[in-house]
Structure 1
Amino acid sequence: MAPMTRQPLSSRLAGFGTTIFAEMSALAAATGAINLGQGFPDTDGPEEIREAAVRAVREGRGNQYPPGPGVPELRTAIAEHQLRRYGLAYDPDTEVLVTAGATEGIAAALLALVEPGDEVIALEPYYDSYAACIAMAGGRRVPVTLRPDPAAGRFVLDLDELRAAVTDRTRLILLNTPHNPTGTVLTRDELAAVAALAVDRDLLVVTDEVYEHLVFDDAEHVPLAAFPGMRERTVTLSSGGKTFSLTGWKVGWLTAPPELTAAVRTAKQFLTFVASGPFQYAIAEALRLPDTYFEDLRTDLRAKRDILADGLRAAGFEVYLPRGTYFITADIAALGEKDGLAFCRSLPERCGVVAIPNQVFYDHADAGRTFVRLAFCKKAAVLREAADRLRQLTA
C-alpha cells in the first residue's frame, strides 16, 4: 500500500493539536495531583434539577430527537430569563436557539456569519475554541490584548487599541465577559465604548456570557445587547453548565434578532442537529429557580475564590482577584519563574497541583508568559489542600 503523502489535517487547523486541558488533566491523573486546571465543579448541581432530568427521561420527553431550535419549554424559559434579568425581550420562536453547549453556539455563529478572509477581533487571552472556530470559518483572527493593571487589580481593555484594530475587513467582534481566563468583568463604560464602535463601524458582535451569573464584589454583568443599537447586531451566548454546575449536560443557547438566529441555525443544524433532549426540560426548570439560588451560588463561589487567592498569595504568587468566572489568574514572576508552560508542566511533581498556563490563550505569547490560571469551583477542603501544597514552592 502506497503511503499517504499529503498532510491529513486541513491547513485551517494547522497548529491546533491536543488542547492544553487534555494535557494537564492527563498530568493530574498520572501524578494524583489536585486538578485546578479544567473549569468544572467537583459537586453536582441542584438535586431538584437533576431529578427533573430523570423525570423527563421516564416520561419520554426528549428521548428521541427534540425540535431543531430546542424544546419550546426551554426556549420560553430562556426568553423569560432575558426579560426578567436584563429587560431584553426575545421571541422564543424566532430569536432563541438551543445549542450543544455554548462552544457549539460559538462555532455555529462564526461558521454562519464569517466569510473567508473576514477579520474577527477577539480579546486575548481567549478561550482556546475561539481561535479554532475562527480558523474553521476561514476568518482571520485579530487579537486585542487585555492588559494587567496592578493598581486596579484587574485586566483592562485598551479601547484605543480596540478601535485601531478595526479595519474595512473587520466583520465582527468576539467578546467574552465575564472573561475567561482573566476573571475580569467589563464595566458599563467599557461595554458602552464597544457598542458605540460596533454601531459606528457596522460590526456584528458575538458575545460569550456563560459566566453571567458568576460575578462578585462590586461587579455587575450587563449584556452588550442592552446598549443602544446593539440588540439588532448582537448574538448573545450562554449556557446552563456553569450556572447550574452541570457542565456535562451541554445545554447552551443564543438569543439574537430573527435574521441572525436563522443564519446560525442554518449552520448549527449540520453540526449536532440536536442534543441533550431530556436535559433541555430540566434546564428550563433551572432557569426559573428563585433569586436566592443565584445569590447563594455567588456567595459560595466568592468564598472559595478567597480561599484560593489567600493560598496563592501565601505561596508567593501575585494574584489578580477575579470579579467573575471560576478562575484566578496569578503571576509567577514573583516566584522567580519566567515561563508558565514549563512551570505548569512541572507543578504536579513539585507540589501536586495542576494549573493552566495562560500563554496558550494568547497570539502574543510574551504578554501572558508568566500568568497561570487556576479554577476555584471545587470543594473548600480541596482548595485548602491545594493552598497547603502550593506553599511548598517557597518552603
Structure 2
Amino acid sequence: MPSLSKRTQYFTDSVIRRMTRVSLKYNAINLSQGFPDFPPPQKLLDALASVAYKGPHQYAVTWGAQNFREALAKKQEHFMGRKIDADKEIVVTCGSTEAMMAAMISVSDPGDKVVVFSPFYENYGADAILSGAEPIYVPLHAPDFHFSAAELEAAFQQKPKALILCNPSNPTGKVFSYDELKLIADMAVKYDVFVITDEVYEHIVYKPYKHVYISSLPGMYERTISCSSLSKTYSITGWRLGYIIAPPNIIDRAKKVHDFLTVGAAAPLQQAAMAGLAMDDAYYTDLLDIYTRKKELFLDGLKSLDIRYTKPQGAYYVMVDISEFGYKSDLEFCEVLARDVGVGAVPGSSFFHEDVNDFIRFHFAKSEDVLNKALERLATMRQKIKRRA
C-alpha cells in the first residue's frame, strides 16, 4: 500500500473537541469546548424559522450572498472605522476556521515561515502544516502574557511571510494594547510581512481594555487579512458563518482558494443571520454586560476557592494554574478532573509550543446556574484529586 501524506502524520485529533467527549463520558460539566449553552437572539431564531419555508435553499454566490456581504460590510464599517467594499473586500467562509485556512493558503507557499504567538489556538499549528509553512513561535509570558520586543524581532529577522494574531486571544483572554499592536505593525512594515488576524472575540473585551483593529494602524490595511465570524458574537457556533476582510488583491486570491475548499457557506443561514448584523449598538453593549457578569461570577468563585488563575481581558476563557497538584501530564489531570470532580477542562499544553503543563483552560460561556454548579464541584477538587510527589 502507498504511504499516507507526510504532512498529516504529526496530527492529533483536536484536544479541545476530545475533552468534550471526555466530559460526555463522565457526565461532567463541559467547560472545555467554548460554545454557549444559551440560545441565539430571538431575532435570529425568528429569521431562521422564516427562512426554513421561504428559502433560499440552493447555492449562494460562492464568496457570499450579495445581501449578506452588504449587511456584513455595513456592520463592520461601523466598528472597524473604514469603508468596506462588499464586492471586492469580503469573502464569506464556513466559519473563521476556514477563513484562517484560506488566508494561510492565499499568502504562503510550502517552506515559507509564519510567526505564531504561544500559547495559541490549536488550529494555527495545523493550518501551518496544511499550507506547508513552518511556524516560528514567539512566547507570551505569563501572568499577563506580554511578549518581548527582542524575541519578536528575532522572529521577524527569519524572514517570515506572515504573522498570526489572535486578538482577543484564545486561550488566554489577552487583549493586545495599542502600543503592542503598533510594535507588531512597525515590524510587519519593516520586514514586509502579512498579518493574519483572528478576531472572533472582537465584541467581548472587558473594561477598561479596548479592541483595536490592527488593520487601522498606519501602513497596515494593505497587509492585514482580517478573519472573524458570527459564532461567538451571536451565539451561533453551529451555523459556521465566518469571513475574511482584506484589500481587493488579497480577496481576489482568497475567493479562489475558498471556492475550492468549501464552495460556499450555507445560503439559508446567511439569510437568517442578517437579522443579527442589523442589530444596533445596544446589542453589543448587552452582550458585553452578559459576559462581564459571567466572568465576575466565575472568577470570584475561583478566588474564593483559592484556585489560582490569570485574569482574562477579553473572550470567555480563563487559564487556571494546577502546578500545586504536581501532575507531569496536564492531559491526565483533565481526565481525572472530569472523572472525579465532574468538570471538563482543556489541558494547557495543547496551546503551548513550550513544555508547559501547569495550566488548564476553562470557559465561562454558560448559564449562571451551570457556572455555580461547576464551582460547587470545583470546591471538592483538592479532596478528590491527590497531589503527586
After superposition, the C-alpha distances for 1:124-144 in whole angstroms (9 at most, x for unaligned) are 111111111111110001111
> Is the counterpart of residue 317 in structure 1 residue 307 in structure 2?
yes
> Is the counterpart of residue 12 in structure 1 residue 7 in structure 2?
yes
> Is the counterpart of residue 36 in structure 1 residue 24 in structure 2?
no
Distance across 2 between alignment mates of 1:260 and 1:98: 14
TM-score normalized by the length of structure 2:
0.95
Deviation at 1:283, TM superposition (A): 2.1
Instruction: Find the counterpart in structure 1 of residue 127 from structure 2.
Output: 133
AA in 2 matched with 1:218: P
Q: Is residue 91–residue 255 contact of structure 2 (8 Å, CA) maintained in 1?
A: yes
Identify the match of residue 58 of structure 2 among 56, 64, 67. 64
Question: What are the residue-to-residue correspondences of 1:153-232 with 2, within 5 Å?
Answer: 154-232=144-222
Distance across 1 between alignment mates of 2:299 and 2:137: 28
Q: Which moved more, 1:117-126 or 1:307-316?
A: 307-316
Identify the match of residue 102 of structure 2 among 103, 108, 129. 108
> Is the counterpart of residue 53 in structure 1 residue 48 in structure 2?
yes
Q: Is residue 316–residue 335 contact of structure 1 (8 Å, CA) maintained in 2?
A: no
Instruction: Report % sequence identity.
Output: 36
Give the secondary structure class of the aligned counterpart of 2:207: coil
Identify the match of residue 256 of structure 2 among 247, 266, 272. 266
> Is the counterpart of residue 74 in structure 1 residue 64 in structure 2?
no
AA in 1 matched with 2:20: S
Distance across 2 between alignment mates of 1:53 and 1:232: 36
Deviation at 1:206, TM superposition (A): 0.5
Question: Which blocks of at least 5 consecutive residues in structure 2 are unaligned?
Answer: 384-389
Deviation at 1:268, TM superposition (A): 0.7
Cα 1:168–1:23 shift into 2, 3 Å: closer
Question: Which blocks of at least 5 consecutive residues in structure 1 are unaligned?
Answer: none
Cα 1:264–1:224 shift into 2, 3 Å: same
Distance across 2 between alignment mates of 1:159 and 1:55: 52
Q: Is residue 315–residue 394 contact of structure 1 (8 Å, CA) maintained in 2?
A: no
Distance across 2 between alignment mates of 1:53 and 1:211: 23
AA in 2 matched with 1:369: N
Q: Is residue 105–residue 257 contact of structure 2 (8 Å, CA) maintained in 1?
A: yes
AA in 1 matched with 2:336: S
Q: Is residue 96–residue 255 contact of structure 1 (8 Å, CA) maintained in 2?
A: yes
AA in 1 matched with 2:311: L
Give the secondary structure class of the aligned counterpart of 1:147: coil
Distance across 2 between alignment mates of 1:138 and 1:29: 35
After superposition, the C-alpha distances for 1:79-106 in whole angstroms (9 at most, x for unaligned) are 1122211212211000011000000011
Give the secondary structure class of the aligned counterpart of 1:236: strand
AA in 1 matched with 2:30: N
Q: Which moved more, 1:302-311 or 1:177-186?
A: 302-311
After superposition, the C-alpha distances for 1:17-39 in whole angstroms (9 at most, x for unaligned) are 22112321111111110000000
Instruction: Find the counterpart in structure 1 of residue 386 from structure 2.
Output: none
Deviation at 1:168, TM superposition (A): 4.8
AA in 2 matched with 1:294: Y
Give the secondary structure class of the aligned counterpart of 1:214: coil
> Is the counterpart of residue 380 in structure 1 residue 368 in structure 2?
yes
AA in 2 matched with 1:48: K
Instruction: Find the counterpart in structure 1 of residue 82 from structure 2.
Output: 88
Q: Is residue 229–residue 242 contact of structure 2 (8 Å, CA) maintained in 1?
A: yes
